[in-house]
Amino acid sequence: MGSDRECAVSDTDATVLEPKWWGSHVREMRWQAELARLLADPVWRGVGLPRGNGEPVLLIPGFLAGDQSLSVMATWLRRLGHAPRRAGISFNVQCADTAVHRLERVLHHIHLSTGRKVAIVGHSRGGHFAKALASRCPQQVSQVISMGAGLDEPFDISEPTRLAVEGARRMVHRRDPERAAKGCFTHTCLCRYQQDYRAPFPESIPLTSLYSKGDGVVRWRACVVPYARCVEVPGSHVGLAFNRHAYREIASTLAPA
């Protein structure tokens, strides 16, 4: 595995959609080993890492996951002196517009109750939501850290993942004809979320995109965009939630100025 490094973005880094990409889902089982390595690493104890000053950090889980998937990160952030907050998502499969509308209320409550801007860390689909939230509520967001998320192309994913998305799309369309008419879970979705996701990212908000070339779920090139600070770490897609290299980068990024 290589070491952490920031990427240099050029025209050749642009994502090219291919008909099918099967990814590497068997290798995604590495997340268990990545969690074990994290717990044995000094980074887990916060050794040599900058401390937080109580800044609220909203954690948004990925597709098919819930808040529990980021509970290890929440424990670690709290140890470093940050104030992690849950997104209130138990199973991330609902319509993106509905989810981000609810997250907007969560963000607003955190901002009002603390009197501070909120940092957002989003894993996979949670990174899509974080980007849209920052575009919608720039005055309430201090910075965004995206982990393994396609920031311009949300569907540049493996074929098995695409089939899971298709299943979620069918479920949402069957339950909500209005969402079906708007094209929820498609490239042509007409909802406000899609507008926010596609909007130019606010220049006033720092955006960090963590990605791995070993990602077996999302094509890593989709995570590399010119308007973000892109940082490569070794590991799996699922394991980004437990990746000791990602944690070190997150600690440095969230460190008070």
Whether residue 37 is contained in a domain is answered as no
Whether residue 126 is contained in a domain is answered as yes
Residue pLDDT, tens place only, 91-108:
999 999 999 999 999 999
Q: pLDDT-derived band of residue 250, with 50, 70 and 90 as boundaries? A: very high
Q: Which domain holds residue 135?
A: 53-156+191-254
Distance, in Å, from the CA atom of 70 to the CA atom of 82, rounded to the nearest integer, reads 14
Whether residue 165 is contained in a domain is answered as no
Q: Which CATH number do you get for residue 80?
A: 3.40.50.1820
Residue 8 in this model has a pLDDT that exceeds 50: no
Stated as kind and residue range, the H or E segment containing 247 is: helix 244-254
Say if CB 87 and CB 77 are below 8 A apart.
Answer: no
- Which of 154, 155, 132 lies closest to 207 in space, CA to CA? 132
Whether residue 70 is contained in a domain is answered as yes
Whether residue 134 is contained in a domain is answered as yes
What average pLDDT does the chain have? 91
- Burial readout 49-81 (b: 16 or more C-beta within 10 A, e: otherwise): beebeebbbbbbbbbebbbebbebbbebbeebb
Q: In total, how many domains does the chain have? A: 1
Question: 143 by DSSP, 3-state: which?
Answer: strand
SS (H, E, C) 181-238: HHCCCCCCCCCHHHHHHHCCCCCCCCEEEEECCCCCCECHHHHCCCCCEEEECCCCCH
Whether residue 5 is contained in a domain is answered as no
Whether residue 249 is contained in a domain is answered as yes
Whether residue 231 is contained in a domain is answered as yes
Question: What is the arithmetic mean of pLDDT over 222-235?
Answer: 98
Exposed/middle/buried for residue 25 (C-beta within 10 Å: 0-12, 13-18, 19+): middle
Residue pLDDT, tens place only, 38-62:
999 999 999 999 999 999 999 999 9
